[in-house]
Chains A and B, each alone.
Chain A
């Protein structure tokens, strides 16, 4: 291939056009010694080899100016107890200038059980907010303008139900679904591999996901329909290469399922989002994010023939590594989170959640949650790392790691393709075994002192301090059940029965899109457990591999 001259000048001219729409945060960026900071560094040769930010294959970032125009979104995952309590916290966060919400649901909601189900005992409101019916969702989003606020929901197996509740609340606020913005996690494959909140077997689960893609393309064009997650794969014990490989392999499975159902790749691919972890090995993490971007761009363009550049861009959220936190000397975790967050920023993340120091012990207290947010703010406003695009691009070490990670990831992806794709590899337990093996090796290295965890197997304290922890009110479960009983007594039961029956009929037809039927049931205050039980009966339940 011949090397075109003046690539950078061409790129700069292109950037000038974008700047008219998205101006940079400052007219001039400079260091503390008034040395001017350029938008992009690199020789003509390096730029040619690595490619420019905002251009295929996006190694250096998905936007041309990255954080010089807009900082990443600081999106802290929150929620516990009742809808009313969480709503208060959300409104406080919005008052503080936060523009996006991130909802944590409790386990019964995530697995499609009502709060009064026998399976829900002890779990109601514990790891997130409890949602049974539209009435809870109305309370959760009370006085929050859904046309202005984007909402990320960590919901997978019953994602369709929660999405419909969100649409229904929008309707009541007078916000049409076309205007709704946000993300549903909706990534069932990693639930089988690593996170455990599955309900149905893979095939009907993939159908529900494809139904959502199709419905949203027509009705919620601004909504991210899935957040393909490596986060939990890493937490379950994988290494960085496996995290990227298994996540992208899952992404490919979703793309293929949607294409097989007849959707055009460019109609849904621009709404796919990703979610990665940030652990401690600083440069490897940075290289990992960069490699993931380049691999995905190539896969979408070359393997699936996507034509829209938006389909090539890997946009991702990052959360710092929960499993790297220690219960011992919890304040040390602030330092770990800082390094991890910095790696995510240097890797070009679109949004970031920083963990709180006390999360190895309980849900965070308000003090701990504030320090976690401040950590991001200090990186954004004091460190200067956001003032130039991809500051580590061209580093011998980082580029070598990026290339090596890409190569190893591709080997894994080819191996998974030999199984027949991610779904088959999961059904045969391949990814689970790889992750577990790595988790066990890690534990052994920590126990024999080969891997040092400060405060855990070295530099220990004779006596640990007992920090103050957050307690979830045990009375909440009862209150939630009473609310649910009240909703059941006030709703029109025959309407509910009719819509559930209609959903059951449609579920039998593999070609039907179920979202409109779920939406009707939700509007009539059918509960999440009732809806999921209908589908359990038709689809069966996944019982582990």
Chain B
């Protein structure tokens, strides 16, 4: 597969290029070919450079408040040159309230202050190389086991196997009480229904006690889900939702996994285990 070519551009008169330079180097470290325009580029210059350099994607950076004027102009100039299919992403000092306008004008995504370069690289790869699997799951994060009563199930795992209970939590919104037991790098989760309508109760009614799901830890949950969707995999969550400790999680339907409910989970960056 050819390297992704990205044009990093500074439209307007803004001289703050710390972000642009850091991103240029980070994308290079992620294996992309980076072309940096330098400061003070007009929308016409940026569109022309993108076409001449035959790039796959354009990243715009502005910190001077001119984004609402200049970013849409870049899209216009690309369209005028029949290059409207080159995706444009952007970042800088951009208030949240301006984002819907910019997305409507055709910017694919805005990375605001505090975004990570990892996240951006994953987004770009997911967008341009949807069939290329980035990195395989790092480990099995946990195995969920549905039980009628945690207190009845625990003795086997603690006294019988000698595992130690890390914590027991109730997650009211999911209708479940969870006991965590650490096993090396992974965990056993004992899941007890909190009320009749709990999905765990539904599972118990249908199948009885047993393995409920397996969770794989990944670091590219967004592009991965997009990719699975393209491949026709049946997803329970088409967008990641938030899990415990600011993690992001998504479930894949057992119909697509040959009978096992699979969870993908991504830990928050810099978060403690």
List residues of A whose CB falls within 8 A of some B CB.
107-108, 110-111, 113, 118-123, 126-127, 191, 195-197, 235-237, 323, 326-328, 360-363, 436, 439-440, 443, 446-449, 452, 456-458, 460, 462, 466, 469, 472, 474, 543-544
Q: Which residue of B lies closest to A361 (CB)?
A: B95
Answer whether residue B57 sits at the interface, using C-beta atoms and an 8 A cutoff: no
Instruction: Tell me if B270 and A447 are in contact (CB < 8 A).
Output: yes
Supposing A107-B14, A362-B93, A469-B95 touch, asked if A457 and B269 sit within 8 A by C-beta, the answer is: yes
How many Å from the CB of B118 to the closest CB on chain A? Answer: 6
Q: Is the interface of A mostly helix, strand, loop or mixed?
A: loop
A363 to B65, CA, bound (A): 9
- Which B residues lie within 8 Å of A443 (CB)? 22, 26, 117
Instruction: Tell me if B42 and A449 are in contact (CB < 8 A).
Output: no
- Which A residues lie within 8 Å of B40 (CB)? 111, 119, 196
Of B108-116, B122-130, B147-155, the one with at least 4 CB within 8 A of chain A: B108-116
A237 to B16, CA, bound (A): 11
Instruction: Tell me if B17 and A196 are in contact (CB < 8 A).
Output: yes
Q: Which residue of B lies closest to A197 (CB)?
A: B15
- Which A residues lie within 8 Å of B73 (CB)? 121
Given A327-B114, A361-B93, A472-B65: 18 more A-B contacts, CB < 8 Å: A107-B14, A113-B13, A119-B13, A119-B42, A120-B13, A122-B12, A122-B68, A122-B70, A126-B65, A127-B64, A196-B14, A197-B13, A326-B114, A436-B18, A449-B269, A452-B270, A462-B246, A466-B96
- Which A residues lie within 8 Å of B112 (CB)? 327
Instruction: Tell me if B66 and A126 are in contact (CB < 8 A).
Output: yes
A196 to B118, CA, bound (A): 27
Answer whether residue B25 sits at the interface, using C-beta atoms and an 8 A cutoff: yes
Supposing A123-B64, A127-B64, A196-B15 touch, asked if A360 and B26 sit within 8 A by C-beta, the answer is: no
Answer whether residue B21 sits at the interface, using C-beta atoms and an 8 A cutoff: yes
7 contacts between A and B (CB under 8 A): A121-B12, A191-B15, A196-B15, A236-B18, A436-B22, A440-B21, A543-B38
Answer whether residue B242 sits at the interface, using C-beta atoms and an 8 A cutoff: yes
A107, A235, A362, A363: which contacts B13 (Cβ < 8 A)? A107
Counting chain B residues whose Cβ lies within 8 A of the other chain, the interface size class is: 35 or more
- Which A residues lie within 8 Å of B32 (CB)? none
Q: Which residue of B lies closest to A477 (CB)?
A: B69
- Which B residues lie within 8 Å of A456 (CB)? 114
Instruction: Tell me if A440 and B268 are in contact (CB < 8 A).
Output: no
Q: Is the interface of B mostly helix, strand, loop or mixed?
A: loop
A237 to B42, CA, bound (A): 26
Answer whether residue B271 sits at the interface, using C-beta atoms and an 8 A cutoff: yes
**A-B pairs with CB below 8 Å: how many?**
110
A237 to B25, CA, bound (A): 14
A360 to B68, CA, bound (A): 17
A460 to B18, CA, bound (A): 24
Instruction: Tell me if A462 and B66 are in contact (CB < 8 A).
Output: no
- Which B residues lie within 8 Å of A446 (CB)? 270
Instruction: Tell me if B114 and A107 are in contact (CB < 8 A).
Output: no
- Which B residues lie within 8 Å of A108 (CB)? 13
Supposing A119-B13, A326-B114, A443-B117 touch, asked if A237 and B246 sit within 8 A by C-beta, the answer is: no
Mark contacts of B87-119 with chain A using CB atoms, 8 A cut-off: 1 yes-contact digit, 0 otherwise.
Answer: 000000101110000000000000011101110
Supposing A123-B66, A195-B15, A327-B113 touch, asked if A460 and B26 sit within 8 A by C-beta, the answer is: no
Answer whether residue B39 sits at the interface, using C-beta atoms and an 8 A cutoff: yes
How many Å from the CB of A448 to the closest CB on chain B? Answer: 7
- Which A residues lie within 8 Å of B117 (CB)? 443, 447
- Which A residues lie within 8 Å of B93 (CB)? 360-362
Q: Which residue of B lies closest to A126 (CB)?
A: B65
How many Å from the CB of B3 to the closest CB on chain A? Answer: 20
Q: Which residue of B lies closest to A453 (CB)?
A: B114
- Which A residues lie within 8 Å of B66 (CB)? 121-123, 126
Q: Which residue of A lies closest to B38 (CB)?
A: A544
Instruction: Tell me if B18 and A447 are in contact (CB < 8 A).
Output: no
Closest CB pairs A-B (n = 9): A196-B15, A122-B69, A449-B270, A457-B270, A122-B66, A107-B13, A327-B113, A126-B65, A544-B38
A108 to B270, CA, bound (A): 40
A127 to B116, CA, bound (A): 26
Instruction: Tell me if B21 and A458 are in contact (CB < 8 A).
Output: no
Instruction: Tell me if B15 and A460 are in contact (CB < 8 A).
Output: no
Please report which residues of chain B, range 199-219, place their CB below 8 angstroms from some CB of chain A when the two chains form the complex.
Answer: none
A66 to B227, CA, bound (A): 65
How many Å from the CB of A279 to the closest CB on chain B? Answer: 14
- Which B residues lie within 8 Å of A462 (CB)? 242, 246
Instruction: Tell me if A447 and B39 are in contact (CB < 8 A).
Output: no
Instruction: Tell me if B64 and A126 are in contact (CB < 8 A).
Output: yes
Instruction: Tell me if B114 and A121 are in contact (CB < 8 A).
Output: no
A452 to B96, CA, bound (A): 24
How many Å from the CB of A126 to the closest CB on chain B? Answer: 4
